[in-house]
């Protein structure tokens, strides 16, 4: 069984038919923030991401580009998908590609197991298929083609014609698992989040489940069905297995047992695969279902779901080239309630960068460090007697972390940031009211000035820790400038459960100059 301490978190594995856009980067950042935060809470956090490389969609793209699907996948993974992780400061522990032998071998093993248990049979499939979604469609999922495709049915998501499939396939007895799934949703109410996604899935499963066609014989870009190599495994059935093939199932059972079950962060459009098909597959194999499936909202651009196929796509580097990775991460995690849709606009990003990062946090950091340099030769002074204004800060810091830790527990990343930000706002107000520059004019106020600056520096210590999973770059610079590594150890080793305890940075530590954390952006 999974060790109590394991925190295994995943992103979907991304199709390599195209390059990444900010919707993909959004999922990556969310999973990375949760992994980093939990790692700083003493958890054995393990973040998995990767690429989904089989199926008809990739095959067709590669053919259109005149290369083999493997060449196409290799190119996209090396030139685009792996570099994305650096662009947005992702610290993943593993990256799985579905064309790797470790995956393919375990997929075949899983299929053999299900077949031995009697959950696979062969039959005829006749129905609709959308290659864009790589999904079998029900009539209710389709729209009329209208002027663009007169007389044809189109996929409601891709607004492109669907294909009619008639094949003999292997089927998975998914319909056997309806009751077990409903029991799972009931006994583990936070299994599917947020509530809106949970409700949708609940009513979907209550309507009854069909068996699932899990093989294709009209093309061969996939993992072969082990007992019939004229068929390849249906790409979704294969892709979902990445979560266990990457964590050692079937090869290193000890490490698998130690990590599993995982928390899956996915877009709400693919929550159904993760909360219905996937747990049913695992139940059939006798493996524990995932710990949670969280379906986040969509990034909207100009009111529409941002997507490459509709030309609203924005590449992550277009934003990080101007604003940097920290601002990218901060903006998407702060401005959008995790679980809801959110609109992206350059104006909003710019405004928040200026107001919250440059003027709010950045300015607090630079003026605090500068005042310690100016008034105390760079040596952090000791606090003497504390008055009520000071203890308000102490309380704010403590409460902020109580709330932030609780927010992360329920995956409410935006709430966690808002909690830490209360310290930023409180400290900015505190400094304005205490006027250290006025206190510095008279030696009689020296003790008071010491207390005020100690309070500011210690508050900043707490903010730096609290924001480190969100903005690893800027907080690392600030940690250095505060002289904290020597006094308190590495930033990434600071524990979130203790971060709200007052009085950690010792007096006597020397601060060093700090460049602007969020420089002015030229228009």
Residues classed as catalytic: 21, 24, 130, 133, 155, 158, 305, 308
- Among 14, 110, 185, 234, interactor with ligand MSP by CB under 6 A: 14
298-317 binders of ligand MSP (CB under 6 A): 298-299, 305-307
- Cβ proximity to ligand MSP: between 299 and 364 the closer is 299
Region of 259 (left: φ > 0; alpha: ψ -120 to 50; beta: rest) is alpha
Please count the residues of this chain forming the interface with ligand MSP, following the rule CB under 6 A: 21
Query: Could you tell me which stretch among 7-15, 155-163, 379-387, 400-408 binds ligand MSP (CB under 6 A)?
Result: 7-15
Half-sphere exposure at residue 166, Cβ-oriented, CA atoms within 13 angstroms: 0
Asked if residue 238 binds ligand MSP (CB under 6 A), the reply is no
Residue nearest to ligand MSP (CB): 267
Cis peptide before 261 (omega within 30 of 0): yes
- Closest Cα to residue 460, out of 450, 442, 475, 439? 475
Identify each DSSP E strand in 210-260 by its residue range.
212-213, 215-216, 224-225, 228-233
Asked if residue 267 binds ligand MSP (CB under 6 A), the reply is yes
Taking each helix axis from N to C end, the angle separating 325-335 and 472-481, rounded to the nearest 10 degrees, works out to: 110
- Cβ proximity to ligand MSP: between 238 and 390 the closer is 238
- Among 52, 53, 135, 326, interactor with ligand MSP by CB under 6 A: 52
Asked if residue 331 binds ligand MSP (CB under 6 A), the reply is no
Asked if residue 269 binds ligand MSP (CB under 6 A), the reply is yes
Asked if residue 270 binds ligand MSP (CB under 6 A), the reply is yes
Widest CA span in the chain: 90
Give the Å distances, CA to CA, from 234 to 136, 243, 298, 299.
Answer: 10, 16, 26, 28
Asked if residue 23 binds ligand MSP (CB under 6 A), the reply is yes
Least gap, CB of 51 to ligand MSP (angstroms): 8
Least gap, CB of 133 to ligand MSP (angstroms): 8
Asked if residue 26 binds ligand MSP (CB under 6 A), the reply is yes
Give the Å distances, CA to CA, from 201 to 71, 130, 266, 407.
Answer: 37, 21, 14, 24
Asked if residue 239 binds ligand MSP (CB under 6 A), the reply is yes
CB atoms within 10 A of CB 472: 20
Q: Got the DSSP string for 14-25?
A: EETTS---HHHH
- Cβ proximity to ligand MSP: between 269 and 492 the closer is 269
- Among 6, 8, 9, 12, interactor with ligand MSP by CB under 6 A: 12
Identify the H or E element spanning 128. Answer: strand 120-130
3-state secondary structure of 173: coil
Q: Contact residues for ligand MSP (CB under 6 A)?
A: 12-15, 23-24, 26-27, 52, 239-240, 242, 266-267, 269-270, 298-299, 305-307
């Amino acid at each position: 069984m999974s060790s109590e301490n394991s925190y295994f978190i995943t992103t979907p594995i991304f199709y390599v038919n195209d390059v990444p856009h900010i919707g993909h980067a959004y999922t990556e950042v969310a999973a990375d923030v949760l992994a980093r935060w939990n790692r700083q809470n003493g958890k054995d956090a393990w973040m998995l991401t990767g690429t989904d490389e089989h199926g008809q969609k990739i095959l067709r793209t590669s053919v259109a580009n005149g290369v083999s699907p493997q060449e196409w996948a290799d190119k996209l993974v090396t030139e685009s998908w792996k570099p994305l992780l650096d662009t947005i400061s992702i610290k993943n522990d593993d990256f799985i590609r579905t064309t790797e032998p470790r995956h393919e071998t375990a997929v075949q093993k899983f299929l053999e197991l299900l077949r031995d248990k009697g959950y696979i049979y062969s039959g005829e499939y006749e129905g609709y298929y959308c290659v864009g979604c790589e999904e079998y469609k029900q009539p209710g999922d389709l729209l009329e083609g209208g002027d663009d495709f007169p007389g044809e049915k189109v996929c409601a998501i891709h607004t492109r014609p669907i294909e009619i499939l008639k094949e003999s396939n292997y089927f998975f007895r998914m319909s056997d698992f309806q009751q077990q799934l409903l029991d799972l949703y009931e006994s583990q109410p936070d299994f599917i989040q947020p509530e809106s996604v949970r409700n949708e899935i609940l009513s979907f499963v209550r309507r009854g489940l069909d068996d699932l066609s899990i093989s294709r014989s009209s093309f061969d870009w996939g993992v072969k069905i082990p007992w019939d190599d004229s068929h390849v495994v249906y790409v979704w059935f294969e892709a979902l297995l990445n979560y266990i093939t990457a964590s050692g199932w079937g090869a290193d059972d000890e490490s698998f047992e130690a990590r599993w079950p995982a928390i899956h962060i996915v877009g709400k459009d693919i929550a159904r695969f993760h909360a219905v098909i996937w747990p049913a597959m695992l139940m059939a194999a006798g493996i524990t279902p995932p710990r949670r499936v969280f379906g986040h909202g969509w990034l909207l651009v100009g009111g529409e779901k941002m997507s490459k196929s509709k030309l609203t796509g924005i590449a992550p580097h277009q934003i990080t080239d101007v604003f940097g990775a920290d601002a990218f991460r901060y903006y998407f995690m702060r401005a959008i309630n995790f679980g809801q849709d959110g609109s992206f606009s350059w104006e909003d990003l710019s405004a928040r960068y200026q107001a919250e990062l440059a003027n709010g946090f950045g300015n607090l950091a630079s003026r605090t460090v500068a005042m310690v340099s100016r008034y105390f030769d760079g040596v952090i002074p000791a606090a003497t007697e504390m008055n009520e204004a000071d203890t308000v800060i102490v309380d704010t810091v403590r409460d902020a972390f109580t709330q932030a830790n609780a927010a992360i527990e329920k995956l409410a990343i935006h709430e966690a940031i808002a909690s830490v930000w209360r310290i930023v706002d409180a400290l900015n107000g505190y400094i304005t009211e205490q006027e250290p520059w006025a206190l510095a004019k008279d030696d009689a106020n020296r003790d008071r000035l010491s207390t005020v600056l100690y309070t500011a520096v210690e508050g900043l210590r707490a903010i730096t820790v609290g924001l480190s999973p969100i903005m690893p770059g800027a907080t690392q610079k600030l940690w250095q400038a505060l002289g904290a590594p020597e006094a308190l150890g590495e930033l990434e080793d600071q524990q979130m459960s203790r971060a709200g305890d007052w009085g950690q940075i010792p007096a006597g530590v020397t601060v060093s100059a700090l460049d602007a954390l969020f420089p002015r952006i030229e228009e």
